[in-house]
A = this chain, B = another copy of it.
Amino acid sequence: MADIRIVEVSPRDGLQNEAIAVPTEQKAQLIANLLKAGLKEIEVSSFVSPKWVPQLGDVEDLWPMLPPGGIYSTLVPNEKGLERAQALGVERIALFTAASDAFTQKNINMTVEQSLEVFARIRSNFKGFVRGYVSTIFECPYAGRIEPSRVREVIDRLLEIGVDEISLGDTIGVGVPQEVKQLHTELSGLDQSKIVWHFHDTRGTAIANVAAALDLGYNSFDSSAAGLGGCPYAKGAGGNLATEDLVYFAERSGLSTGVDLNLLAQASLPILTTLQKPPTAKAQLAALASS
């Protein structure tokens, strides 16, 4: 049993915005590599319409190729997506909302309230495990700073609806430990095991935020191998927290992750080659240099 729980999001969150098409076989290989490195929980793709996100349009082909032994989840944007997921026998799904109406309007053309109504219908039609993503927990690119009380409201609604866990996303990577602490104050009384932190490293603060969350008693984090994805601003810019950085930090801090950092550092190399990106995640580079 690991001391911290990592939900690996690179196959979905890492690839959804890439201009270069990644062959399905290579996605399956990435997932196999991640599993072999010790990552058990992996969000593998999305049932979003291929019209909107062609990068993930091969989920029906990918699903049967997944190696046994993983705990796989997929993003489900709507009831049509749920039908597709159920047809494949998917047992864990993730739904998307935010703490900002401006953000959900731009991304899914709904208010937060409307997205929660979709959540409720999907929840009542699905017996498996449901994650709820709450984006823009600290700041929205369109509406500015977000009040912690607003995040709490959305969390409470999700728990009423019956989601099994909630992933709190610093979507644009602006947060600092002080904001993690402020939000934590607002989360009093919640079951901490249902909260997963999804930090972005756009400005280099993600590991400091992880450290703050650990100090406050949380132990679950989303991250992405090689830091793939997460809406980076510019070539080389940080988006998602790199799983390599998270694993290095945790293991050096005496917290077991169950992940082999050297295997993990290698896991994304083929897909980085396909994407024509050099590795940039710091602990990945350090591991590659020393192995």
Contact = CB atoms under 8 A, between A and B. Distances in A.
Contacts of A283: 203-204
A196 to B, nearest CB: 19
Given A211-B211, A252-B176, A289-B233, A245 B282 contact: no
Interface string A254-288: 10000000000000000000000011111101101
A179 B288 CA distance: 24
A27 B254 CA distance: 42
B238 A282 contact: yes
Give the number of copies in the complex. Answer: 2
Contact of A204 (B178, B202, B207, B236): B207
A61 to B, nearest CB: 34
B201 A237 contact: no
Contact of A208 (B203, B208, B242): B208
A20 interface: no
A19 interface: no
Contact of A286 (B175, B203, B290): B203
A137 B92 CA distance: 45
Contact of A282 (B175, B201, B290): B201
B236 A285 contact: yes
Contact of A253 (B176, B201, B206): B176
B253 A177 contact: yes
A234 interface: yes
A289 B231 CA distance: 12
A204 B252 contact: no
B236 A279 contact: yes
Nearest to A289: B233
B237 A203 contact: no
A236 B179 CA distance: 29
A235 interface: yes
A236 B289 CA distance: 12
A233 B204 CA distance: 19
A212 interface: yes
A174 B252 contact: yes
Nearest to A238: B282
Contacts of A245: 203-205
A133 interface: no
9 contacts: A178-B253, A201-B204, A202-B282, A203-B283, A204-B283, A236-B236, A236-B280, A236-B285, A237-B289
